[in-house]
Amino acid sequence: MAKRKILTDSDPALRQVCKPVEKITPRIETLLDDMIETMRAANGVGLAGPQVGVLRRVVVVETEPGNPIELINPVIVDYAGEQEGAEGCLSLPGRSGIVKRPMKVKVRALNRKGEEFTVEGTELLARAFCHELDHLDGTLYTDRAEYMLDEDNFEVETPRTRLRKHARRK
């Protein structure tokens, strides 16, 4: 296993749509191992392929220590409810924003053996699944944020909040 460099939001790779994994090879298995090590070293709860410069539909999530979930070609097949809360990203260090996500999601994916499985998540796990799967389509949480927060947790104006303020004035 090896720790990989996490790309930051200035890297155009984070805005790319990832390609599906056609065949699970030893390189994909090594990628999964490396992503788990990288995520843990950065104190994250999730990491997607493009964040380490690999434009493949591969995600790892670990909201419970010692229990990583590996997802190859993941798809959200069902969701319910709503939650709103603070979200950050290993590719946008020191920043956070308030994002609405489903309270519960069901994801279908392949494991490292190529077997299809489904996994359900609520609260933080649901948020992590949604956040990481967004990365696979070139979407960052800042695109969905209701508003961003500074380091003191004060609201920071963004293009989206400016549009909302403008719409309220009309």
Catalytic residue among 84, 132, 151, 155: 132
Q: What is the pLDDT of residues 16-74, one digit of tens each?
A: 999 999 999 999 999 999 999 999 999 999 999 999 999 999 999 999 999 999 999 99
Which CATH fold topology does 12-169 show? Answer: Peptide Deformylase (3.90.45)
Dist. CA 33–CA 62, nearest whole Å: 13
Domain ranges across the chain: 12-169
Catalytic residue list contains 87: no
Greatest CA separation for the chain: 58
Could you tell me which residues come within 8 angstroms of residue 11 by beta carbon, excluding any fewer than 6 positions away? 53, 91
C-alpha pair distances (Å), 33 with each of 20, 46, 60, 134: 18, 13, 9, 21
pLDDT one-digit tens code per residue, 114-138: 999 999 999 999 999 999 999 999 9
